[in-house]
Chain A
Amino acid sequence: MAITSVKNLKEFSTSNDRFEGAHLLCPGCAHSMIVRELMNCTDDNLVISTNTGCLEVSTAVYPYTSWDTSWIHIGFENAATAAAGAEAMYKARKRKGTLKNPDAPVKFVAFGGDGSTYDIGFQWLSGAVERGHNFTYICLDNENYANTGGQRSSATPIGASTTTAPAGRVSYGEKRNKKDMLAIMAANGASYVAQVAPNKWKNMAQAFQKALSTDGPCYINAMSACTTEWKFDPKDTINISDLATDSLAFPLYEIINGTELNITYRPKNVLPVKDYLAAQGRFKHLFKPENAHVLEEWQKRVDEKWEYLQRREEARV
């Protein structure tokens, strides 16, 4: 695989953009930071599929496309299967000798939001990973259905207020904690699984490059801070992301071949998770006295998860 150097930012900045401006994503949206970086970290040809969602409705609205590579959208749930179908066609045509660019290296990548990944497209993703297609699935996890105005998904964390699980006089919002997609994908047979965040650009680029150069299905959960639905100022996308990774609300780690877990980022100073929550409007109500127990629950879960990840890393199982 033709890898772009990510040794340092100066080196990386010599790569050429293949994701164009004048897309319709919100100002400050992390989606495009993640997508752009994925496309910049390799020179290989890309065949990209995308589930319906913010990314799709913002980057391919007729008569415009923001994609400089091959790209396909079918529906809300089936980007994994679209990539699988294209990958199968590549294998068949390579074997039969009918490809126009038979020697050109190509990577297959699917993007989905958390709604289409954790919820409606879960089966399609699971099937494509189980079948062992050689592709990388990247979930742009902004923890809600942002494209349709902020409804809860199974990636919505406890205590978040969404339009379908709002905080109110007798509710603190979401009652359940988010589904552990990384564990599920590792158990599903993904060759490489990682959680990344755009503020840790190098960590993210390295995970992308590992996934793209791995033979077999890979799953990457990319935290995508959502200025509109998390309710913070667009300029603060990276600041919020820093709070997320440094409070361990979004721990960064990878799982290789379903067993080998490595923590890929250890904050020097771990911040209290309430610092992360306090910076976002969706958690504002948690700072009322009656919701103090939710803040405690949040911190407890973060601590437990971090403890678990460290034990898994140590145990090498």
Chain B
Amino acid sequence: MSNVLSNEKRGMRELGAEKKVGWNEVTHGVVLHSFEDDAADIALRKAEDRKYSEFSSYTATVASWRVIKPVYNRDICIDCQNCWVWCPDSSIISRDKQILGIDYDHCKGCGVCVEVCPTNPKSLLMFGEALSSDDAIAQWPVKEKKEK
């Protein structure tokens, strides 16, 4: 469950790794179209049902910005959606009122999701980038007594 519900285009390349085309191939007037298909109903479509163009930052990754990462523990989560609403990088994947996990292509590891998680123990915790999610879950803390 490391990278849930990934549209095949998500995080295809590092920022800056795109092909540098010549002056005759850059877009007219610096415009960028976000989608490849008719997007009139885009507000009603989930990411996995969208045809993002290569100009959408959805197709890029900022994973390399991260030194620590949040790991999500489904067993404790109450699906309150706090992490979803406050994620500044649209990186908490939620469908049908359930949290599915983290978009590691776009998560920058800020840790806001962990701070706003109300469960005890928390359902999201920060771990070193190199640690696997399974190993992280194996060392999950048990319920803490409330302070004060």
Contacts and interface: CB of A to CB of B under 8 A. Distances in A.
Interface in A232-252: 233-239
A201 interface: yes
Given A65-B32, A234-B112, A238-B112, A22 B55 contact: no
A2 to B, nearest CB: 8
A43 B112 contact: no
B57 A21 contact: yes
Contacts of A16: 42-47
Given A12-B81, A236-B115, A64 B86 contact: no
A237 B87 CA distance: 10
Given A9-B82, A13-B97, A28-B88, A66 B57 contact: yes
Interface string A10-30: 111110111111111101111
By size class, the interface of chain B is 35 or more
Nearest to A28: B110
Contact of B57 (A64, A198, A236): A64
A236 B115 CA distance: 7
A21 B90 CA distance: 5
Contacts of A233: 111
A233 B45 CA distance: 34
A32 B94 contact: no
Contacts of B61: 22
Interface in B54-69: 54-62, 65
A23 B115 contact: no
Interface in A204-258: 227, 233-239
Contacts of A60: 32
Contact of A198 (B30, B62, B86, B108): B86
A101 interface: yes
Contacts of A28: 88, 110-112
B20 to A, nearest CB: 9
**Chain B contact surface mostly:** loop
Nearest to A2: B43
B76 to A, nearest CB: 17
Nearest to A227: B110
B80 A19 contact: no
B11 to A, nearest CB: 7
Contact of B105 (A21, A36, A234): A21
Contact of B42 (A11, A59, A68, A201): A68
**Chain A contact surface mostly:** loop
Given A10-B97, A37-B85, A68-B39, A19 B32 contact: no
B134 interface: no
A202 B77 CA distance: 21
Nearest to B116: A238
Contacts of B60: 22, 64
A276 to B, nearest CB: 16
A264 to B, nearest CB: 18
Interface in A1-57: 2, 9-14, 16-25, 27-33, 36-37, 42-45
A22 B11 contact: yes
Contacts of A24: 15, 62
Contacts of B112: 28, 234-235, 237-238
A18 B57 CA distance: 11
A97 interface: no
Contacts of B18: 63
A62 to B, nearest CB: 6
B72 interface: no
Given A10-B79, A21-B91, A238 B105 contact: no
B34 interface: yes
25 contacts: A13-B84, A16-B44, A16-B46, A20-B56, A21-B57, A21-B91, A22-B89, A27-B89, A28-B88, A29-B88, A33-B85, A33-B86, A37-B85, A42-B43, A62-B32, A63-B18, A63-B27, A63-B54, A64-B55, A65-B32, A66-B57, A235-B111, A235-B115, A237-B112, A238-B112
For the complex of A and B, the 7 pairs showing the least CB-CB separation, nearest first, are A21-B106, A235-B111, A27-B110, A28-B110, A27-B108, A9-B81, A22-B57
Given A27-B110, A198-B86, 7 more contacts: A2-B43, A9-B82, A10-B79, A21-B106, A28-B88, A65-B56, A234-B110
